Amino acid sequence: MFIADAQREVRSVYMLGSVGQVVSGLVWAVSAALTTWYSTSSGILAMLLGGFFIYPATQLVLRATGSPASLPATNPMRELAIEVAVVGPLMLPLIGAATLYKNAWFYPAFMVAIGAHYLPFSFLYGMRQFIILAAIMMASGLLVGLYAPSVSTLGAWFTAALLLTFGLVHWRIHAAQQSKRA
């Protein structure tokens, strides 16, 4: 299998990454809402717990749409997909250290870490849009963390909107591609 064929299959199975982005955006939105209207600790807890359910929730939605929920064993990108999925949780100690140093750095640290996590998605999917998403998340996380940590919850709201927008746009593109094939 050629790389381009493997990437095409990744795009097809994961619906251009749209489902994962929508699920992630919803986790960010719930976390931001809890931080804004309840407490910072509840928002942090929601982000941490919700983050662990992004992959299973994405698989559930994919199955509900009738799509396969994972790549076949013959796809050489399968291992990269697994490795990319594991990178996010491995960054939690770094995010925790930043948060312990300055509580207001929780969301900016998460934005930078998850932005970096999205960089290999560009190769995995064969979609440069993931580089743009990653760059926006990392740059905005740095800017909020360095220059506006007192309003870091706005960074969480921004990230939720960014991920939801990215996901919904790609969902529509995927749907349009499917209707052309039908």
Q: Please write the tens of the pLDDT for every residue from 74-117.
A: 999 999 988 888 888 899 999 999 999 999 999 999 999 999 99
pTM of the model: 0.93
| Model pLDDT, residue 66 | 85
Q: Tell me the C-alpha distance between 124 and 148, whole Å.
A: 33
Q: What digits encode the pLDDT tens for the residues 156-170?
A: 999 999 999 999 999
Q: What mean pLDDT comes out for the span 54-67?
A: 91
| Model pLDDT, residue 178 | 83
Q: Give the start-to-end residue ranges of the domains of the chain.
A: 3-181
Q: What mean pLDDT comes out for the span 14-36?
A: 96
Q: Tell me the C-alpha distance between 117 and 142, whole Å.
A: 15
Residue 182 banded pLDDT, cuts 50, 70, 90: low
